[in-house]
Amino acid sequence: MFVTSNKSEPKDIVWNPYNIEKYKKEIANWTEIYSGQWEDYSETLFNKRIENNLSNRLSELHFLRRNSGFIYMAEENYEKFFESYMKEYVIFPTPKLRAVFFALRSINESLDLLFLKTQTKAFQGVKIIEQKIRNLRLLRGMIQTTLSVIYNELDYNRRQHYSSVLKHLLAEFEIGNIVERINQKFSSIYDVMQDLYHRKNDENQERTESGLNLLNLLFGAGILADLAGVIVISLNLQKGNLFTSILNGSIAIVIIGILIATIGYYLNNRIQMKKADIRKAVDAVIEDNAGNVILIKRKYPPFQDYYALPGGFIEKGESAIRALVREVKEETNLDVKILHKIGLYTEEGRDPRGSVHSTVYKCSIIGDITKMRSGDDSKNVLLIPKNQLKDIELAFDHKKILEDANLLN
């Protein structure tokens, strides 16, 4: 809440350096709106309190803090500039940055809780944690969009006072620091999730191997072979009365069913063991109209600080196309159109995290390329001329992908 007044006493004061000195004790008393009653007035304390004054006129004092603000304007300036300038360039940005601060703090606290839950006996399971991480990533993306607008204002707006206000608010709320802490915590929670994936895969593999060991035991002990022998015997028994024939046939059918089900279970577990270790991903080869290729600089391991194609893992229930569009947006802030599929890359050892199969698509950029900026998992995003690609050390098997896309000779 901002409290404003359009009158001052004395009415006709001229705010020159002399009168500022003369009346500064009275002006200082106004600051009780944010600092409490100023009974301990002194020259030193007054000068200290106004050293971060954001106004650039002698007739104004602007103080903006995390939970309060004080803006003093001489009556003439108030009438001229408050509605037309102060609201848009001082008042409105303050609660906006404060809201960003509290949203970032909420994400920060939620990540702490998620990390603690993964380490306790009350752990809710991988799927629930994955969904909560997705929700937090979505919120972080929305906040990053808001911050992008603010940083764009700093880059292009030439109003010196407005730029000073924005820089002050970013520092006052320590936005840069909390964003960095959140990114580090996302990195930590990703590492924890990798451990959980491996642990879950190990548990699944142990259960599967237990079943396979039982089947191997049955095969090794000749039990299944004995069942097959019983079938042969049952089928070759001399025909007796009708009841005996029906009984022998029923026994044979039951034993055949058991044998088929057992072999099917054995083969299915073999297939599932192989599939359980495979994770699906997507990568994008994006070329602009000038023949440049977009690469990101990876923020996290593996291949931290290496250049790579934009991309990432496909989430459960998500198509490869949707995953590609989402990952490119998160890492480069660009919208893309998929032109065609380059190939499916499944070679063992292409990713140190395990068996990762990546579908790669050739894409073009939709809209303004100047909106390109780094995002979730990218430290930087660059346009690289095709003739320079051969000199760059790329992550994973992305050099081969660029060769297959006829972009690297």
The predicted pLDDT at position 64 comes to 79
Angle at which helices 93-118 and 175-220 cross, to 10°: 30
What is the DSSP secondary structure assignment for residue 87, as one 8-state letter? I
Give percent of the chain with pLDDT exceeding 90: 27
Q: Is 339 helix (H, G, I), strand (E, B) or coil?
A: strand
CATH class of 279-404: alpha beta
**For residue 295, with 0-12 CB atoms within 10 Å meaning exposed, 13-18 middle and 19 or more buried, which class applies?**
buried
The predicted pLDDT at position 107 comes to 92
Domain ranges of the chain: 17-91, 94-199, 222-276, 279-404
Distance CA 197, CA 186 (A): 16
Pick 388 or 220 by higher pLDDT: 388
Distance CA 218, CA 226 (A): 10
Per-residue pLDDT of 157-175, as tens digits, reads: 888 888 888 998 999 899 9
Distance CA 256, CA 202 (A): 33
The predicted pLDDT at position 63 comes to 73
As a whole number, mean pLDDT of residues 19-37 equals 57
As a whole number, mean pLDDT of residues 50-65 equals 69
Per-residue pLDDT of 274-333, as tens digits, reads: 555 678 999 999 999 888 999 999 887 788 889 999 999 998 888 999 999 999 998 999
Per-residue pLDDT of 341-396, as tens digits, reads: 999 999 988 888 778 899 999 999 998 898 898 876 778 899 999 989 988 999 99
